Structures are given as C-alpha cells and as structure tokens.
Chains A and B, each alone.
Chain A
C-alpha cells in the first residue's frame, strides 16, 4: 500500500495555503498519497465563485466576508486590507517562488485528494457545486481520522 500523508487545511490564508501546497506536492512527488481536508476557513480555498448556496442570514453575511476564491485569500499577518497579499504575490513573482496557482496545478497533476469537511460545509452553507472541479464529496471526521490513522504524517495548518 502507498504511504499516506494528510493535511487539515483550517486557516484559509494565502501564506498557509502556500505552505500546505508545498508540503502536499512534495509528499506526492515522493510517492505518497496525499489528502487535504478543508475545514472551516479553509473552505474558502475551494470556492468557485462568490456565492455559497446557504440562505440563512448569517450564511449570507459569511458569503460576503469570505474570500471570493483561492486567489483572493488574505495573509495571516500584515494583511493591510489586501495590500499584504498583493505585495506578497509581487515579491514571490520577483523571487520566482511558486505561487498558489502553480502549486495548485502541480497538486492536481500529482493527484492530491481535495476533501471538504461536511460539517464546515453545513455551517457555511456550501454545496458541492460551490466548489471548483476536482473536489471530492464532502466527508466528516471519521473519514479524516481513518485516513490520518493510516498516514505517517498528519499536519494541521
């Protein structure tokens, strides 16, 4: 059986997404089966467009406040109303450091599994059709823990 690694991507910020994608792509390049489990703020990474399906008032408020998609994630520090991520993107381009799109493209090529947390989807009012292509069916904690139990490396980012 293939060795496994799992990552819980909880934070939903750009810098942490880069960290998660670097580790996911490298592990996959080493022949591991990698599963990224997207919970809570992490769901923002998988968004296709502005809208989630939720009709509840708070869910609509969340929909407005959450980033539009993976290219508009805030920074963990120095966000400065969006100036931070913009500067960071420029800086990464200048230094030829791989950004979100390049890393995510590689992750898909290396068949990294993308699994949204079903409970987070319920809270946020997100349906599967709100997510980009290639995202698996939502799953719960039991699915994650089974994967984590079989994996040698499990990270919470």
Chain B
C-alpha cells in the first residue's frame, strides 16, 4: 500500500522550549499558512507528546504523523 508522505510547507523548530511555547508558536505559524498545507514541528518538551494530539483535536487541525527520536518529537500538522 502506498503511504502518502507528508510534504511540509514550513518547518518550526521548538526544541528547547517548554509548554506553552510549542503550541502557541504552532498556532502563530499556522496563521500565515493556507488550509491544507503541512507544518512540520520539532519539539523536545516531554509534555509535547500529549499536548500536540490534544491541541490538534481541540483546534480541528490534522495531526497526520508523529515521529519520536531520542526524546525529540516531530509532528506533521495539516492546517484545517
């Protein structure tokens, strides 16, 4: 089966930032993007693992893929 690889329009590096900065910066970054475009966010706040799925579900933006490598998370978010 072919998996649709998310191709990001923009990259947002939130490594080194604690809550609430990763989600707040994500919200601000998405403001300048078009509906359907994908934002790739990297974060190493341990809370991000639960925060991003919650934030995406509350805002209706699509969390299309999550990766975790050595304590750093990568989230691919498709703008609503």
B59 near A31 (CB under 8 angstroms)? yes
**Interface majority SS (helix, strand, loop, mixed), chain B:** helix
Residue of A nearest to B28 (CB): A109
A30 near B59 (CB under 8 angstroms)? yes
Interface size of B by Cβ–Cβ distance < 8 Å? 14
Which of B16-24, B32-40, B71-79 makes up part of the contact surface?
A: B16-24
B27 at interface (Cβ–Cβ under 8 A)?
yes
A29 near B19 (CB under 8 angstroms)? no
A30 near B21 (CB under 8 angstroms)? no
A29 near B17 (CB under 8 angstroms)? no
CA distance A31 to B18 in the complex (A): 20
Q: 8 Å CB contacts to B: which residues of A124-155?
A: none
> CB-CB < 8 A to B26: which residues of A?
29
> CB-CB < 8 A to B59: which residues of A?
30-31
A98 touching B18 in the complex, CB below 8 Å, given contacts A29-B24, A29-B27, A109-B28: yes
A97 at interface (Cβ–Cβ under 8 A)?
yes
CA distance A97 to B20 in the complex (A): 9
Map CB proximity to A onto B1-43 as digits: 1 under 8 Å, 0 otherwise. 0000000000000001111110110111000000000000000
Map CB proximity to B onto A9-52 as digits: 1 under 8 Å, 0 otherwise. 00000000000001001101111000000000000000000000
> CB-CB < 8 A to B16: which residues of A?
96
Q: 8 Å CB contacts to A: which residues of B31-80?
A: 55, 58-59
